[in-house]
Amino acid sequence: MAGITLCMIVRNEERSLARCLDSVRPVVDQMIVVDTGSTDASRSIASGYGAAIYPFDFSRTDFAAARNHGLDRASGAWILALDADETLHSESLPLVRGLAAGGENAGYYFERLNREPGSSRPRSDYVVRLFPNRPDYRYRGRVHETIDAAILAGGGRLLRTEIRIEHDFAPDPEARRQRNLRYIEILNEEIAADPGDHSRLTFLAAEYHQLGMFDQAAAVAERLARLRPLDPEAHLHAGVYHLMFQIDHRQARADLMEALRLKPGYPEAISFLEMLDEREKSRKMQT
């Protein structure tokens, strides 16, 4: 095997698909598009770029299965995974080629700049989007599918890079709300089937947060902190919910102090503790 294979899932993405494929065409040697039931021009657009298109029955929502359907057909030594509403920054193209040429057994995090409709500043997160094409590297999770655990189990490393991708959220807020609700339903089904998979809880809290259901998100964050007593980030997140959304300063301080104890010098914990001190000082001055 040689080269880089782009693997995507597509369904009714005619609005953004060409822009995505244009952004990666200079760096990929093969394009694979798994179509989960498009009724628009998505398939013809992908064909115009020389992509191999594979239909996939999506009557049961399972994004991991759809992604793995594409991986099974990839011939490149490396996989570049993108969504149709994402584009790769042009200055990142040589970085992608360089990492693939290095041949390390690693999954590489890209910085994803998430742009909300009407918002001038993107929100960043990091996602694994470049990894070796190996039969044991397969996605897990019906929604919020990830490949991170498979890479670690296969002896690989997860490394952060300076590669950037742009992500434009769908402009229809009601469609996004319905998707969030559906994802919550599926995540709860997965958690019931495998309570030991804590990653599902992390995504569940995020879904509740996006819907503004902060009490539910806080309850999930608390559950994670109990399940991961030695994880400073879990305690940090629980503390932030108690500080910012439930206004329980006593519990917020306990959570943030535990995060700081587990990770001395933890800058985020220190920052939120300083915020908590300021709020308590202001409250005392007003009484």
- pLDDT of 287 reads 67
For the stretch 92-125, pLDDT in tens is 999 999 999 999 999 999 999 988 776 678 888 8
Least confident of 33-47, 167-181, 201-215: 167-181
Q: What is the CATH number of domain 4-168?
A: 3.90.550.10
Q: Please, which residues have CB within 8 angstroms of residue 85's CB and are 6 or more apart in sequence? A: 13, 16, 20, 167, 168, 169, 170
For the stretch 200-229, pLDDT in tens is 999 999 999 989 999 999 999 999 999 999
Q: Please, which residues have CB within 8 angstroms of residue 190's CB and are 6 or more apart in sequence? A: 141, 142, 197, 200
- pLDDT of 175 reads 84
Residues 174-190: b if buried by 16+ CB within 10 A, e if exposed:
eebeeebeebbebbeeb
Which amino acid appears at position 265 of this protein? G
User: Which residues are registered as beta bridge partners of 106?
Assistant: 157
How far is it, in rounded angstroms, from Cα 48 to Cα 55?
Answer: 17
CATH of 173-286, one of 1.25.40.10, 1.10.3210.10, 3.40.50.11540, 2.40.50.140: 1.25.40.10
For the stretch 123-152, pLDDT in tens is 888 999 999 999 999 999 999 999 999 999
Asked if 112 contacts 128 with a C-beta cutoff of 8 angstroms, the reply is no
Whether residue 177 is predicted with pLDDT greater than 70 in this model: the reply is: yes
**Exposed (0-12), middle (13-18) or buried (19+): which is 52, by Cβ within 10 Å?**
middle
Phi, psi of 228 (to 5 degrees): -120, 70
Average pLDDT score, the chain: 93
**Residue percentage of the chain with pLDDT more than 90:** 84
Domain assignments of the chain as residue spans, ordered by start: 4-168, 173-286
The answer for 27, left when phi > 0, alpha when psi is -120 to 50, beta otherwise, is alpha
Whether residue 172 is predicted with pLDDT greater than 90 in this model: the reply is: no
What pTM did the predictor assign? 0.85
Neighbouring CB atoms inside 10 A of 167's CB total: 19
Using CA atoms, how far residue 244 sits from 116, 224, 239, 248, 262, in Å, is: 21, 18, 8, 9, 22
How far is it, in rounded angstroms, from Cα 70 to Cα 81?
Answer: 10
- pLDDT of 116 reads 76
